[in-house]
Structure 1
Amino acid sequence: MITFNDITKTFPDGTTAVDQFNLTVEKGELMTLIGPSGCGKTTTMKMINRLIDPSAGTIYIDGKPVSDYSIHELRWNIGYVLQQIALFPHMTIRENIQVVPELLKWSKKKTEKRTDELLDMVGLDPSTFKKRYPRELSGGQQQRIGVIRALAADPDIILMDEPFSALDPISREQLQIDIDKLQKEIKKTIVFVTHDMDEALKMSDRICLMREGSVVQCDSPEQLMKHPQNDFVEEFIGNRQSPWLKSVQEVMKTDVHSLYEQEQENTVTIPIKSTLEDAFTIIQSANQAVFPVVDNDQKIVGMVTRDEMLHYFYQQEKEGASIL
């Protein structure tokens, strides 16, 4: 758990980047910080691992002030993924991934096992990629290495500072999917900074919308869209009322037993955080009548069917909503 208690950061030139900021990031939660340029989101994130120290207030990790940790202990237990990937160009992929485990004096056997596990997790064959150099990888592949390098020493916390913004749209979307899958497996506490509201809505457990260094609203993506607290929130979210961008919960039935009475092998499921567009893509690609909707723990929380979704879009169109 990460707790910000009345955090203020004022720089020597008099600029107050963060102003009496209060927030709790729960263990295993993906919290996104978002807001206009200059709102203080990156400064806030960098204070967690003390790349920047606050001018006032206290940040706690699991109830202990970050200032009480040794700087090496703190940073070795916090993975950090940047927009600029910053892989070491003269090191192989293996060597890049193993930097922190070697500093922590892991055994060679343990380090190699961890390297192979991580490469497998992001779909990069260890036997193919371990001996390559960063210049031999695509931008999307390099960013995957950046992500798993941050995970190499199995840290409790991961910081991600606009990690996908330099990628092409296809690579960016694939990495968003990868991170979502990884988070389901590893359940790390992730603080994610982005300027892209669609990305935030797609990936987050909660979104903290900031303005002038303070929290304006912190809520789940669904609550943020349905119940913006003021005009600023509504304007920042923008016009996202297309039915395709709504949550799959719009059409989900929660009477699970009547819809899906027996367990089936190789059943395709739909994550609870999916948009209707995401859900429809899954439905179209699978030969299945009923689709369980699952939470982050893969527990079934509801069901959708193709017919119900088509009926929903038909009703929306009748009521004048654009479905394009």
Structure 2
Amino acid sequence: MITFKDITKTYPDGTTAVDQFNLTVEKGEFMTLIGPSGCGKTTTMKMINRLIDPSAGTIYINEKPVSDYSIDALRWNIGYVLQQIALFPHMTVQENIQVVPELLKWKKGEKEKRTDELLDMVGLDPSIFKKRYPSELSGGQQQRIGVIRALAADPDIVLMDEPFSALDPISREQLQMDIDKLQKDIKKTIVFVTHDMDEALKMSDRICLMKEGSVVQCGSPEQLMKHPKNDFVEEFIGNRKSAWLTSVQKVMKNDVPAAHDREPENVMTIPATSTIEDAYAIIQSVNQIDFPVVDDNQKTIGIVTRDELLQYFYQQEKEGASVL
């Protein structure tokens, strides 16, 4: 979907922000760029929609160089969510959401329907919120509008530049969960920039850890924690491994819905002896919402989801608690 080939960005003062950067982001993938301040992650992301042009190398979208697209066509197919919420203050929520569909000359009925759909997706009642102005919304609500505005014209790609960093911890955590759930429904190709490793581990399909403008290691959250490439990766990840050794039984819900009393043969289950690491590996391998946890006799004793596993891990690391 998006391919960076030998990308370098050097500014007029001689600073090299990105150096021989190579990466492929697959269609429907949630890819996070992370690294120390000044590592080039935001510059890398901004080159996708040509807010910044590379000094050397080529970026491809669907095997076509981004330089071959017209700027308008390129950017209308790429949603963009900023750290600064940047809603237009004198426009209603509805008008903010409809900015790009208006430019694309959608019919009124199409715009109205899309607005209502998107507000429903993030749990904001259209009958209540679409006529409000940004000043009448909380920070978390404003950022939700910023996210769905980026989705309004149904773009193939969404760029998110530290979209939660200005929020309070409770709003940030809730919006992380909302975006994770939303991505399961819409399956956009998302490039996400953050400085927060816990956020990256919680939300990403893959994480690209950068240093001095280059890729140090790229892989799933599990791969980075289980097989760090070098001391830099291990240090950046920190002491998070203990949470992955926790029994999955500490995370599962004990109330088993009647529908799970007898599992169909095609339902993937998780052994009750599994650690969170084991369970996460299983969950990542199949397209399934929830997973029965079964004992040695294959009897369902609980239910767990990927969101619950990552949420538990995230909470433990945030609190600095030992979970062994």
- For residues 208-242 of structure 1, the C-alpha deviation after alignment (integer angstroms, 9 at most, x for no partner) is 00000000000000010000000000000011123
Whether contact under 8 Å (2:292, 2:302) holds in the other structure is no
CA distance in 1, matches of 2:246, 2:201: 10
In the alignment, which residue of structure 1 is the partner of 2:53? 53
In the alignment, which residue of structure 2 is the partner of 1:113? 113
Question: Does residue 298 in structure 1 map to residue 288 in structure 2?
Answer: yes
1:63 Cα deviation after fit: 0.3
Letter in 2 for 1:60: Y
1:159 Cα deviation after fit: 0.1
1:250 Cα deviation after fit: 11
Letter in 2 for 1:24: T
CA distance in 1, matches of 2:287, 2:80: 25
TM-score (norm 1): 0.81
Letter in 2 for 1:126: P
Percent identity of paired positions between Structure 1 and Structure 2: 83
1:323 Cα deviation after fit: 2.0
Question: Does residue 200 in structure 1 map to residue 190 in structure 2?
Answer: no
- For residues 23-69 of structure 1, the C-alpha deviation after alignment (integer angstroms, 9 at most, x for no partner) is 00000000000000000000000000000000000000000000000
In the alignment, which residue of structure 2 is the partner of 1:316? none
Letter in 2 for 1:303: V
1:298 Cα deviation after fit: 2.5
- Aligned pair in 2 of structure 1 residues 49, 183: CA closer, same or farther (>3 Å)? same
1:73 Cα deviation after fit: 0.2
Whether contact under 8 Å (1:294, 1:301) holds in the other structure is no
In the alignment, which residue of structure 1 is the partner of 2:262? 261
Query: What is the aligned length?
Result: 285
CA distance in 1, matches of 2:239, 2:123: 35
- Aligned pair in 2 of structure 1 residues 299, 128: CA closer, same or farther (>3 Å)? closer
1:249 Cα deviation after fit: 11
CA distance in 2, matches of 1:323, 1:124: 36
Alignment of 1:120-199 (within 5 A): 120-199=120-199
- Aligned pair in 2 of structure 1 residues 57, 248: CA closer, same or farther (>3 Å)? farther
- For residues 68-120 of structure 1, the C-alpha deviation after alignment (integer angstroms, 9 at most, x for no partner) is 00000000000000000000000000000000000000000001000000000
- For residues 263-315 of structure 1, the C-alpha deviation after alignment (integer angstroms, 9 at most, x for no partner) is 6xxxxx99xxxx959x9xxxxxxxxxxxx95867336676364599xxxxxxx
Secondary structure of residue in 2 paired with 1:210:
strand
- Aligned pair in 2 of structure 1 residues 124, 85: CA closer, same or farther (>3 Å)? same
TM-score (norm 2): 0.81
Whether contact under 8 Å (1:294, 1:302) holds in the other structure is no
- Aligned pair in 2 of structure 1 residues 296, 91: CA closer, same or farther (>3 Å)? farther
- Aligned pair in 2 of structure 1 residues 73, 241: CA closer, same or farther (>3 Å)? same
CA RMSD of aligned residues (A): 3.0
CA distance in 1, matches of 2:53, 2:88: 27
Question: Does residue 16 in structure 1 map to residue 16 in structure 2?
Answer: yes
